[in-house]
Structure 1
Amino acid sequence: MNYEDMPKKDIFCIDMRSYYASAMAVLHGLDVMTTPIAVIGSFEQPGSVVLAASPPMKKRFGIKSGVSRRYEIPKHPDIHLFEPKMNYFIELSMEITKYIANYVPPECIHSYSIDELFVDISKTDNLWGEPEGLARRIQREIYEIFGIPNSVGMGPNMLIAKLALDISAKKTGFAKWTYEDVPTKLWPVRPLSEMWGIGKQMEANLNAMGIQTIGGIANSDPKELEKRFGIMGLQLYNHSWGIDLSELGEPLVKNSALSFGKGQMLMKDFHTRQQIAVPILEMCEDVMRRVREAGYVGRTISLGLSYSRHAMTKGFHRSRTIEVPTNETLVMYRTCLELLDEHFAGEPARQLSVRITNLEPERSIQLDLFDEQKEKREILGHTMDAIRARFGSTSLLRAASFTDAGTALQRGKLVGGHLG
């Protein structure tokens, strides 16, 4: 591979280690590196997921972030449990970002998530000296000033910086990769899902082709990958060589299908269709509001449902493509109910998701001579959006949200799905 024309920038990818646990440790005067800490979604729910666990919590008690549940945590005097404080987490993340802006212009910082960000120092190299020295300086000062341990990956583009972080720096604290490191550091990676951007399903598909390592992708025929996976096949091939042409702030995977969706973990088991239909309606309302605000309509509607861990049946994820593209809440809702009626096994539900894909600009929608109320419904939808934008998401709710099965009122008090 000829890298002569490839971007050769100085980009950092910074990850705040066990961020929620580290932030709570700072708030309570604890040392996250020596104290067993877990941040739990809710103390009221025994099955609530562990959002973050400190290194001692993982090593001593085997509690893992995003996997373990509250009931799995042993009662031990050394363990500190906290509920999330999302407003605090967000404010602290913003303060760290503002600090980094002392070294680079704001447009050279991209917040990838609340605990991970990219920094492009290519335009300010001459101000702060050698790039690796600056990376280590920022890393050290984030810990000294804010008390948050962090890892830094460094590379000539966003992708390689991210790979250096995930594959090396999260173990060693700091890692710098170049294009020349790709064959020796990236290609041996297995299983394939260890690489950013490859999920379990894609891993299974590639394994079925006889590809077991990232090097196997790099040495495959790109035309065959494109034939099998479409544009994603070419993305896989380019990424296996460390090639990424995206600019800071753009997604690392370009040309991916645009979609709008929402999911939520129910705080209790929902046993009946009538109960489940209420949060589905609320989620459809939220998704279609965002679709309208973005100026799109869509054709393919999906519903996902996961059952309680005590259920005997696996969940499902099914889609249906409708003839006329839409951004109407009730059209999406009715389609989701059709999917629910066809696939619901009657077991207690605990997690739901809805999504709309196959999108096109709203202006492309055609008039329907047989639906005289369509234009009025579109106006009503945008009017409801405007009211909620001005007075809050719970200022205008459907009657179903005020029943015992409604979740919108409670979730309206949350920030990022958790208590503020």
Structure 2
Amino acid sequence: MPNNKTLCVDMKSFYASCSAVMLGLDPMTCYLAVVGNTERQGSVVLAASPKLKKEFGIKTGSRRFEIPNDRRIQVVNPQMATYLRISTEITRLFNRYVPKESIHTYSVDESFLQVDGVESIWGDAETIAWKIKDGIEREFQLPCAVGIGPNMLMSKLCLDLEAKKKGVAEWTYSDVKTKLWKVSPLREMWGIGSRVEKTLNRMGIFNVGQLANYPLELLEKKFGIMGNQLYHHAWGIDFSQPGAPLMQGQISFGKSQILLRDYHDPKEIKRVLLEICEEVARRARQHNKAGRTVSLGIGYSKEEFGGGFHRSKTIESPTNITMDIYETCLELFEKFYEGKTVRQISVSLSNIVEDSEIQLSLFELDRPKRRQLGYVMDQIRHKHGSASLLRAVSYTAAGTAKHRSTLVGGHKA
């Protein structure tokens, strides 16, 4: 099995810690929450400092109104652009110890590093881990934890289950039976969500050891290829490499948006739908791809007791033209929409092919021009910003693109 020296570095409560340092506070002792919008009581908590989590039970996903009215607690808006700059600088710190190809940025606050080959320069994996941890705390005043393992999976499990308590920890294959197999409930295992956990529980599997000793053929029969992955992960086996793509080839391009308010009027819903189709088409063109299957998802608001629909339609010719995608979405919308209040819209384009050829039609002689127009619009937006060229619907009360162009990662910059 792969027996490398892989580090998983995780920044503790990254957004909250960054905001605390910017305010001159100690991230580990202050009470601070970063929320999407401090003026909205229903706004989501994006990050909470360790003390706030431990003593008040406030965590990521909590709501603004759940934060107690305590004078020690500071509630701040996010500064996404600053967080991203700090994340980039931390990655540059990693690059002092390992080459770029040995760094895999898993998220804005978590990265994998493969340190094989540099141990003769910096010392063993644990020494390098402490150097990185001390360097981040010295230069950025930010706390972090580092898990070490023979592969990405084991380093991540070591981080979540031990290193976050100790600061730095290392797991090897010999630790699988003594440390990994006793993990329960199963949702604490990386890659197992609540739904899969419930299914495994119904099969009589309640800890990772039971999963590892369950017949592989039965897991594959129940979960398909995912069953094979669950089995091998329970043995601590992972063949993925830092920096390698999770999957060869893009299978779809999509965008999902939770609206800032409930939309009652179908005309307003269609305006947002057009904006989302524009973004999906842009993402496809960015990779020089086109697709034949258009999917539309509509989620109703809580006042409608939730629900919604998700439907797809395959068209004759592959496309990345905004209006082609929009017109297909309109067909699905008119057919399946029940007249209820909408709070979420998602659109995706799948059945992907290369956009190197275009099928000509006697009935659509302007199709090549419309396709090229999309690429020209993309170039303008790339050069002058996403708000430099917007459709008229974005300037109506229903439009969201103008507001979202001022955000980074969906939150205040």
Is the shorter-chain TM-score for this pair beyond 0.5, marking a shared fold? Answer: yes
Residue of structure 2 aligned with 1:99, choices 93, 98, 103: 93
Q: CA deviation at 1:91?
A: 1.2
CA distance in 2, matches of 1:318, 1:280: 14
Aligned CA distance change for structure 1 residues 260 and 215 (closer, same or farther; 3 Å): farther
Aligned to 2:31: 36
- Report matched runs for 1:14-413 at 5 Å: 14-65=9-60, 67-251=61-245, 253-254=246-247, 258-309=251-302, 311-324=303-316, 325-363=318-356, 366-368=359-361, 370-413=363-406
Aligned CA distance change for structure 1 residues 384 and 104 (closer, same or farther; 3 Å): same
CA distance in 1, matches of 2:276, 2:204: 40
Aligned CA distance change for structure 1 residues 31 and 387 (closer, same or farther; 3 Å): same
What SS does the corresponding residue of 1:25 show, helix, strand or coil? helix
Q: Give a deviation string over 1:9-63, Cα, whole Å, max 9, x none.
A: 1111111000000001100011122211000111232211100001221222221
Gaps of 5+ in 1: 1-5
What SS does the corresponding residue of 1:21 show, helix, strand or coil? helix
CA contact (8 A) 1:11 1:156 kept: yes
What SS does the corresponding residue of 1:319 show, helix, strand or coil? strand
Aligned to 1:3: none
CA contact (8 A) 2:6 2:115 kept: yes
CA contact (8 A) 2:304 2:341 kept: no
What SS does the corresponding residue of 1:123 show, helix, strand or coil? coil
Amino acid at match of 1:202: V
Q: Give a deviation string over 1:263-287, Cα, whole Å, max 9, x none.
A: 2332222222222222222122112
Q: CA deviation at 1:155?
A: 0.6
Aligned CA distance change for structure 1 residues 193 and 353 (closer, same or farther; 3 Å): farther
What SS does the corresponding residue of 1:397 show, helix, strand or coil? coil
Aligned CA distance change for structure 1 residues 337 and 392 (closer, same or farther; 3 Å): same
Q: CA deviation at 1:400?
A: 0.8
Gaps of 5+ in 2: none
Amino acid at match of 1:62: G
CA distance in 2, matches of 1:305, 1:74: 34
Amino acid at match of 1:246: S
CA contact (8 A) 1:268 1:350 kept: yes
Aligned CA distance change for structure 1 residues 180 and 416 (closer, same or farther; 3 Å): same
Aligned CA distance change for structure 1 residues 184 and 86 (closer, same or farther; 3 Å): same
Instruction: Judge which range, 274-283 or 360-369, deviates more.
Output: 360-369
CA distance in 2, matches of 1:209, 1:329: 46
CA contact (8 A) 1:125 1:131 kept: yes
Aligned to 1:416: 409
CA distance in 1, matches of 2:267, 2:166: 51
TM-score, length basis structure 2: 0.91
Number of residue pairs matched by the alignment: 412
Q: CA deviation at 1:106?
A: 2.4
Aligned CA distance change for structure 1 residues 205 and 374 (closer, same or farther; 3 Å): farther
Amino acid at match of 1:316: G
Aligned CA distance change for structure 1 residues 302 and 196 (closer, same or farther; 3 Å): farther
What is the CA RMSD across the aligned residues, in angstroms? 2.4
Aligned CA distance change for structure 1 residues 255 and 170 (closer, same or farther; 3 Å): farther
Identical columns (%): 49
Q: CA deviation at 1:169?
A: 2.2
What SS does the corresponding residue of 2:70 show, helix, strand or coil? coil
What SS does the corresponding residue of 2:256 show, helix, strand or coil? strand
CA contact (8 A) 1:40 1:83 kept: yes
